[in-house]
Amino acid sequence: MGGPEIERLIELLSRLPGLGPRSARRAALTLLRQPQTRLLPLADAMQRAGQSVRTCSRCGNLDSRDPCSICTDDHRDGSVICVVEGVGDLWALERAAVHRGLYHVLGGTLSALAGIGPEDLNLRPLLSRLEEGGVREVILALGATVDGATTAHWLADRLQPFGVTVSRVAQGVPMGGALDVLDDGTLAAALMARRAG
Amino acid sequence: MGGPEIERLIELLSRLPGLGPRSARRAALTLLRQPQTRLLPLADAMQRAGQSVRTCSRCGNLDSRDPCSICTDDHRDGSVICVVEGVGDLWALERAAVHRGLYHVLGGTLSALAGIGPEDLNLRPLLSRLEEGGVREVILALGATVDGATTAHWLADRLQPFGVTVSRVAQGVPMGGALDVLDDGTLAAALMARRAG
């Protein structure tokens, strides 16, 4: 179908999350129809990103600078570090613009099933930052899953000697969420964490 | 969010059909996490495709060769040409392996609304092929839309002087389709085109 170049392009596109074989073919066709304005600019953007983007040695974020643009931003509050599982979570918090401190990307959660232990997580740089001092609070913004809760518990233990406040993001009813579609676990958590009206 | 390189990558990815902003971010993250094994190979495949793939001057197909690998395939029946609207339709017929003749890609359909007239379609090379002789039948495999039907009608008229058989793909109940979910137009077409038992 159009030679090996087209077939390889479709195959690699179909491995992207969110694209199956059908939509990969459609995407390839869209790109191939406008090589100068769509295909080559995207190839170029990928090349540049691949060459310039690296993992921040301080926080684990992905950026074209190391330390990343968040770690080096003077306007941010260096005394509060928000620990997230992955870079996608960091992006979500940045889009919401709800955290003005720094981040630390753990690179995963502890998982007995997946065989991920403490040594597989990006913990050491976080401890170094706490040893340096100047950190007042560590917010654990991990997912509300069994692995997320386990990791938060273990992390709170590990951070205790540093004498910083360790907090966790609240669980409860999501904004705009109707009660009758929520699962029992969320309902229980929301009820237990109820606040005075 | 990670510098201009990441932002540009996400923006270009989000313009692909089938990807929105959310899935573009997810795709970018997947690629950036594995630059050597995923990001750069895809960039390379795009570069190669962009440099090598061209439009076949005979049939309008996309291929790294001109004439394309279908036009130059000796095992195919050069006396039957199947006219399709776009390369995606050609791919679909090739995947189904139901046509052993050659193709002609029209590059669109006539459309009064979109302002597409006969001069905007890739017609001239088809007429040249018919003038060369050796063609016995032209199958019009256009969509069962108003524009598709209009185009088929117009094309049948234009091809009449060449004395070739002009046929159209059948309309009717799609394979596996239940009657009660079909639209009235399809039901009418299927009933009118009924065959003896």
Distance CA A156, CA A139 (A): 10
Residue bearing tokens 């049948």: B156
Residue B180 lies in a domain: no
Average pLDDT value for chain A: 92
End-to-end CA distance of chain B: 65
What's the DSSP call for residue A148? H
Percent of chain B residues topping a pLDDT of 90? 78
Percent of chain A residues topping a pLDDT of 90? 78
- Which chain A residues are Cβ-neighbours of B6 within 8 angstroms? 49, 53, 62-64
pLDDT at A174: 86
Among the residue ranges A120-134, A173-187, B159-173, the one predicted with the least confidence is A173-187
CATH number at residue B82: 3.40.1360.10
Strand partners, A101: A77
At B144, is the pLDDT very low, low, confident or very high (cuts 50, 70, 90)?
confident
Torsion of CA B31, B37, B43, B49, to 10 degrees: -130
Cβ contact (<8 Å) for A5 and B64?
yes
Residue B36 lies in a domain: yes
Residue B141 lies in a domain: yes
Task: Based on the fold, state whether residues A85 and A39 are members of the same structural domain.
Answer: no
pLDDT at A139: 94
Nearest chain A residue to B42 by CA distance is: A12
Residue A41 lies in a domain: yes
Task: Based on the fold, state whether residues B159 and B136 are members of the same structural domain.
Answer: yes
Average pLDDT value for chain B: 92
Best-predicted range by mean pLDDT among A14-18, A186-190, B76-80, B140-144? B76-80
Cβ contact (<8 Å) for B46 and A49?
no
Of A6, A86, A94, Cβ closest to residue B49: A6
Residue B78 lies in a domain: yes
Name the amino acid, one letter, at A78: G
- Which chain B residues are Cβ-neighbours of A16 within 8 angstroms? 19, 27, 30-31
Q: Nearest to residue B81, comparing CAs of B106, B63, B117, B64?
A: B106
Cα distance from B15 to chain A (closest Cα, Å)? 9
What's the DSSP call for residue A153? H
Digit-coded pLDDT (tens) for B104-136: 999 999 998 999 999 999 999 999 999 999 999
Task: Based on the fold, state whether residues B38 and B102 are members of the same structural domain.
Answer: no
What's the DSSP call for residue A98? -
Cα distance from B111 to chain A (closest Cα, Å)? 20
pLDDT at A74: 95
Task: Based on the fold, state whether residues B71 and B161 are members of the same structural domain.
Answer: yes
- Which chain A residues are Cβ-neighbours of B2 within 8 angstroms? 53, 61-64, 68-69, 87, 91
Distance CA A72, CA A36 (A): 37
Best residue in A8, A12, A16, A37 to probe B by mutation, most B CBs within 10 Å?
Answer: A16
A70 pLDDT above the threshold of 90:
yes
Distance CA B42, CA B39 (A): 5
How far from A109 is each of A105, A123, A137, B34, B45, CA to CA, in Å?
Answer: 10, 11, 20, 19, 34
Length of chain B: 197
Best residue in A42, A46, A70 to probe B by mutation, most B CBs within 10 Å?
Answer: A46
Task: Based on the fold, state whether residues B17 and B95 are members of the same structural domain.
Answer: no
Of B9, B19, B63, Cβ closest to residue A3: B63
B85 pLDDT above the threshold of 90:
yes
State which residues form the domain around A19.
7-52
Cβ contact (<8 Å) for A30 and B42?
no
The answer for residues whose C-beta is within 8 angstroms of residue B44's C-beta and 6 or more apart is A43
Strands A54-55 and A62-63: antiparallel
Residue B190 lies in a domain: no
**Cβ–Cβ < 8 Å for B70, B81:** no
Q: Nearest to residue B106, comparing CAs of B136, B137, B71, B151?
A: B151
A190 pLDDT above the threshold of 90:
no
Digit-coded pLDDT (tens) for A46-60: 999 999 999 999 999
Residue B68 lies in a domain: yes
Task: Based on the fold, state whether residues A86 and A164 are members of the same structural domain.
Answer: yes
CATH number at residue B48: 1.10.8.420
Task: Based on the fold, state whether residues B32 and B124 are members of the same structural domain.
Answer: no
Task: Based on the fold, state whether residues B42 and B77 are members of the same structural domain.
Answer: no
Residue B193 lies in a domain: no
Task: Based on the fold, state whether residues A33 and A102 are members of the same structural domain.
Answer: no
Residue bearing tokens 């609304």: B113
- Domains held by chain B: number: 2
Distance CA A172, CA A46 (A): 39
Q: ipTM of this predicted complex?
A: 0.83
Percent of chain A residues topping a pLDDT of 70? 99
Opening angle at CA A65, ends A64 and A68, nearest 5: 110
Task: Based on the fold, state whether residues B152 and B68 are members of the same structural domain.
Answer: yes
Digit-coded pLDDT (tens) for B155-192: 999 999 999 999 998 888 888 878 888 888 888 888 88
pLDDT at B182: 84
Task: Based on the fold, state whether residues B142 and B72 are members of the same structural domain.
Answer: yes
pLDDT at A3: 87
Q: Nearest to residue B81, comparing CAs of B153, B151, B132, B150?
A: B132
Mean pLDDT of the region A148-156: 94
Task: Based on the fold, state whether residues B91 and B142 are members of the same structural domain.
Answer: yes
